[in-house]
Amino acid sequence: MPPEKKDRSPVALEQRDISADQRMFSPSVARNSAPIVAVLKRVLPTRGAVLEIGCGTGEHAVCFAGAMPNLTWQPSDPDADARTSTSSWIKFAGLKNVLAPRDIDVCSGQWGVEQTAHFDAIVSINMIHIAPWAASLGLFAGAGRLLHAGGLLLLYGPFMRDGAHNAPSNAAFDAALKERNPSWGVRDIADLEQVGEAAGFNLRETIEMPTNNMLLVFSSGSA
């Protein structure tokens, strides 16, 4: 039998408008960008390189790069339409510190950048709950390969604590995700800590965010 093909179709849980130049607009990005930027400015290094996993529309990439001009931002997404949108946003914003988006699938054994780049931080926003558990495993494994010692892995989204949701709306969201795809779902911080520790990461900070989201800051090794 031929090998099973990976499903690389785009995943979006919201309606997105598209401009004539192929820029996509995400309603959730408009809501969450400001609070995320506030945290990133505090926890990220003032200079260095950041890899974004699952950049989606590309709006976060240009927002974050514009707010932190001394950081070089490398967006990535396995979906071609997302990369097209991100490229258009980079051109529209006219930023010099955002690189062309890369095609990275965290479930792959190698991400294609191991020989050419290492990073001070990796950021992934609203990705691991709309992907199989293998994506979380692959994310930590890849971060272990690509981050400098003391580098940060930042995860934003809804999370559980020891099997409990922090709001009824997140419990309903989790059920809806699993109905759509049984391999999806809101992840438990304890499970992520366990995977992180096996890959050499420690959970340094858990930050409460608006609308019952959190931002987890994992640190790799020692600086």
Looking at residue 14, what is its pLDDT?
53
What tens digit of pLDDT does each residue of 116-126 get? Answer: 789 999 999 99
The torsion region of residue 62 among left (phi > 0), alpha (psi -120 to 50) and beta comes to alpha
Looking at residue 143, what is its pLDDT?
96
- Residue 184, judged by CB atoms within 10 A of its CB (0-12, 13-18, 19+), counts as buried
Domain ranges, ordered by start, for the chain = 20-220
**Sign of the CA dihedral with 129 first, then 155, 150, and 143 last:** positive
Cα→Cα distances 76→61, 104, 160, 168, 196, Å: 10, 6, 26, 32, 21
Contacts 24+ apart (CB under 8 A), 198-206: 198/140, 199/140, 199/141, 199/143, 199/144, 200/144, 201/140, 201/143, 201/144, 201/153, 204/152, 205/43
Looking at residue 63, what is its pLDDT?
97
Confidence (pTM): 0.91
* Segments of the chain with pLDDT less than 70: 1-16, 222-223
List b or e across 10-49, with b for residues whose CB sees 16 or more CB atoms inside 10 angstroms. ebeeeebeeeeeebbbbebbeebbebbbebbeeebbeebb
Determine contact, residues 119/99, Cβ cutoff 8 Å. no
- CATH class assigned to 20-220: alpha beta
What tens digit of pLDDT does each residue of 107-152 get? Answer: 988 898 887 789 999 999 999 999 999 999 999 999 999 999 999 9
Looking at residue 156, what is its pLDDT?
98
